[in-house]
Amino acid sequence: MPPPRRGFFISDTKQGNRVKKTLWMTAGLGMLMLVSSAHAAIKATDLAVVEANAWRARMGFHLLAIRGDNPEDREALRVLLEEGKQDTETLKLDAEPAREQAAAALADAWKTLSVRALDNPLASLGYADYAAMSEMNTTTLAVVEQAEKAQNGDSDYLNIADLSVAMQRVASEYVALAAFPSAGLPTGTGLEPMDFAIEAKQIDDALASLKQQYQSDPQASDALNFISQRWAFVRGSVPKMSDAESNKVPYLFYRYATQVAERVEQLVTGQ
């Protein structure tokens, strides 16, 4: 007599066939779940970080002109662009099927931005290239547009991340105009000039509202207090951007805006 079989034994009966079918269906479902688990919904805060970093890249582009193509500034910009590339590529790889196309478009837009950001003729050659300034504007806005298209739903601290985006946008425009009067967002885009007084008031209001909302959240409160301190250093100079004779503090603005962006990124990513 042959030895008994160990484990599952499925006979060639109708009942056995039903069991086989059930096992195959279960296995198939399990494989599908494994495949699905490789994808994740894109967090709105991750996209907000990409938006903020796009404005930071534009700010870094113009800082090269202000500080004479300083090697430290160029290296900081290169690192930012490389981190942005990694972030957008990760979003593309991890995106759920419904967001794959949007994530791929975002990664492509970031690559285009990166090429432009490291090439500032005013910094390297000493002449103002309007085409370069225009392209810096349009490539930045392209990243912002693709990031907003990819958004789907909410995530923790999104309103704080959005505040960072607003601050980076103001800082980017501030530094652009300090670098060259015709380097502002209207160049090549058809946008209206930024009203710095209104933008600054909106940031003031948002900060006050968020501090109230997150007063019982220690992590968020610490981040907002940090933002408030950095904002206070540059707040007074913002409305004066419309005055050609006023003293500008572009590097100070760049430094504090960068610190805000990095602090908010730490908060929303849980670092």
- Ordered by start, the domain boundaries in the chain are 42-269
**Two structure tokens written together for 208:** 């006050």
Predicted local distance difference test score (pLDDT) of residue 40: 65
Predicted local distance difference test score (pLDDT) of residue 246: 79
Class of residue 262 by CB neighbours under 10 A (exposed 0-12, middle 13-18, buried 19+): middle
d(CA 185, CA 137): 6
Return the half-sphere exposure (C-beta side, CA atoms, 13 A cut-off) of residue 138.
Answer: 11
Predicted local distance difference test score (pLDDT) of residue 21: 46
**Tokens 């004066």 sit on residue:** 240
Question: Residue 230: which residues within 8 A CB-CB, separation 6 or more?
Answer: 256, 257, 259, 260
Predicted local distance difference test score (pLDDT) of residue 152: 79
What are the pLDDT tens digits along the chain (271 aa)? 443 333 333 344 444 444 444 444 444 444 434 344 455 678 999 999 999 999 999 999 999 999 999 999 999 999 999 999 999 999 999 888 888 999 999 999 999 999 999 999 999 999 999 999 999 999 999 999 999 988 877 889 999 999 999 999 999 999 999 999 999 999 999 999 999 999 999 999 999 999 999 999 999 999 999 999 999 999 998 888 777 677 889 999 999 999 999 999 999 998 7
Return the half-sphere exposure (C-beta side, CA atoms, 13 A cut-off) of residue 191.
Answer: 16
Q: How many residues does the chain have?
A: 271
Is residue 133 within 8 Å of 50, Cβ to Cβ?
Answer: no
The model's pTM: 0.85
Three-state secondary-structure class, residue 5: coil
Three-state secondary-structure class, residue 238: coil
Predicted local distance difference test score (pLDDT) of residue 39: 58
Which of left, alpha, beta for 7 (phi over 0: left; psi -120 to 50: alpha)?
left
Predicted local distance difference test score (pLDDT) of residue 224: 98
Which of 204, 251, 244, 195 is closest to 73 using CA atoms?
251
Predicted local distance difference test score (pLDDT) of residue 174: 96
